[in-house]
Chains A and B, each alone.
Chain A
Amino acid sequence: MSYSAKVIDHYENPRNVGSFDQNEENVGTGMVGAPACGDVMKLQIRVGKDGVIEDARFKTYGCGSAIASSSLVTEWVKGKTMEEALAIKNAEIAEELALPPVKIHCSILAEDAIKAAVADYRKKHGENN
């Protein structure tokens, strides 16, 4: 498997690795995937009072493309409102990282992680999805 330069860059210098306290009021946590499938992503967002995502963190168990996809979305969601973050589509992630067809599921997982993190935040705040 040969990786694109962008995947290698995100893999070797992952952005925003780490965790927030998931019990914090303004943190939304999304965990998607399964160990049996070979990838699990945890994406966390910290949302400001104005509804804008101030910061994001990830941890990923998975191949290089999965790590790169999650690293990339932590950069992309920052500064966006939750609505804007939800508009990020897997095709954009796949295109940005030049993922080959067998790795498209990594970008789908990253999109799902955003949805799960936003849903968790909204649930904490009694909002409807």
Chain B
Amino acid sequence: MNLPIYLDYSATTPVDPRVTEKMLPYLTTHFGNPASRSHSFGWTAEAAVEKAREQVAGLVGADPKEIVWTSGATESDNLAIKGAAHFYGATKGKHLITVKTEHKAVLDTMREMERQGFRVTYLDVRENGLVDLETFRAALTPDTCLASVMLVNNEIGVIQPIAEMGALCREKGVIFHVDAAQATGKVAIDLKALPVDLMSFSAHKTYGPKGIGALYARRKPRVRLQAEMHGGGHERGFRSGTLPTHQIVGMGEAFAMAGEGMSAENARIARLRDRLLAGISGIEATHVNGDLNARIPHNLNVSFAYVEGESLMMAIKDLAVSSGSACTSASLEPSYVLRALGRSDELAHSSIRFTLGRFTTEAEIDYAISLLREKVGKLRAMSPLWEMAQAGVDLNTVQWAAH
């Protein structure tokens, strides 16, 4: 077994070797610019780009004409929200809706829209991380222009009820954007049936290369966007810039593979996740963050009470994971996603995100479990909070000197 063990697949995934193989010729032999119409170099590249467009569209039940290449999900989110708000804001109204647990690519774009004079509602989630449909319905107003909700949360892996939300948006004539960066290859997506107008995708979360993504923009009924990147008018004017053929080929291949292998892979990963959960459940005072049912099998976010997340990560440095504790950054604020679930700051500081993927093995999970048991025990033996809890002290009644 090679150490460290990678359990951070929601941060990024390795490019599948079969994907790399397909990409390489487009860096060398087939290096043409897909926009070159006057020779075979361009035609070959264009054919590869269009094949990849079909592959991406195929995974999500879209028409290839509805797929716009971007540099990644962050750009897709920016283009969807700014592009639609700028196009429809003047006529539909200047109100936008999103959720407090969204990715920063959406939240920070919403902040920018506020600076541009839009009003934004940031919805709370329930304790399980899911948006309440009545809360969502109540937030829709006659001047709501667009709502943006992620399909799968990056920190806790919960799956939002986007079909129901989309139906509510349709009723009210609100544009509905969904960030699906964490969902492709994990959740079946059929845009023929889903009432979603705009959807963001990323290649590198699904065993494709970094630096390439796509935005789905519905044609029937047609969603209009104001371009945010101006230039040569590529991608039907939605997004100018020479297309990176090799990246696009990689994304297409990765998405095609994700579709073929999805059900078998999900079943295998669910078994590994259950094994990890069972192993962790043997440790006292652990809490799973986020709903366990409406959740992708790849994600397990756990708070180990009385142990601080960053020091736990240091103790389990053989495991590449991420923590909801923000002690690693300049801010002392723990994860805003866990806080939105109503988790105490202390439990938020004590959380670790494990994300499993295509190359995770049972032996790696077993190693992770035994390492966690040992190190959580060691850190608790060193923790004044654990000592107090063992002595029966209710930590909520203690007057702490905040600093």
Contact = CB atoms under 8 A, between A and B. Distances in A.
Interface in B368-392: 381-387
Interface string B289-319: 0000000000000000011101100100000
A95 to B, nearest CB: 20
A33 B310 CA distance: 16
B395 interface: yes
Contact of B383 (A59, A64, A112): A59
A33 B330 CA distance: 17
B382 A63 contact: no
Interface in A1-46: 1, 3, 11, 14, 17, 19, 31-42
A74 interface: no
A61 B382 CA distance: 7
A80 interface: no
B71 interface: no
Given A11-B311, A33-B403, A61-B307, A38 B382 contact: no
Interface stretch (B46-54, B114-122, B236-244, B343-351): B343-351
Contact of A38 (B330, B334, B395): B334
A38 B325 contact: yes
A1 B310 contact: yes
Given A17-B381, A38-B332, A62-B308, A3 B314 contact: yes
A60 interface: yes
Given A1-B310, A61-B307, A36 B385 contact: no
Contact of A63 (B308, B385, B386): B308
B150 to A, nearest CB: 27
B400 A40 contact: yes
B349 A38 contact: yes
Nearest to A31: B384
B38 interface: no
B311 A35 contact: no
Given A11-B311, A64-B311, A102-B330, A37 B403 contact: yes
Contacts of A39: 308, 327
A37 B385 CA distance: 13
Chain A interface size, as a band, is 20 to 34
B401 interface: yes
A67 B327 contact: no
A122 interface: no
Interface in B326-340: 326-330, 332, 334
A109 interface: yes
A35 B395 contact: yes
A108 interface: yes
B185 to A, nearest CB: 31
A20 B32 CA distance: 74
A39 B306 CA distance: 10
Contacts of A11: 311, 314
B327 A35 contact: no
B402 interface: yes
Chain B interface size, as a band, is 20 to 34
A105 interface: yes
Interface-central residue, B310, B327, B344, B383, by most chain A CB under 10 Å? B327
Interface string B274-297: 000000000000000000000000
A36 B344 contact: yes
Given A59-B387, A61-B384, A64-B310, A37 B328 contact: no
Contact of B401 (A33, A59, A63): A33
Contacts of B402: 34, 36-37
Nearest to B305: A35
B267 to A, nearest CB: 37
Contacts of B307: 61
Nearest to A39: B308
Contacts of B327: 38-39, 62-63
Contacts of A62: 308, 311, 327
B349 to A, nearest CB: 4
Given A34-B401, A36-B345, A60-B383, 12 more contacts: A1-B310, A3-B314, A14-B382, A17-B381, A32-B401, A33-B403, A40-B385, A41-B384, A61-B385, A63-B327, A105-B332, A112-B403
18 contacts: A3-B314, A11-B314, A14-B382, A34-B401, A35-B395, A36-B345, A36-B349, A36-B400, A38-B308, A38-B345, A40-B384, A40-B400, A59-B384, A61-B308, A61-B384, A63-B310, A102-B329, A105-B403
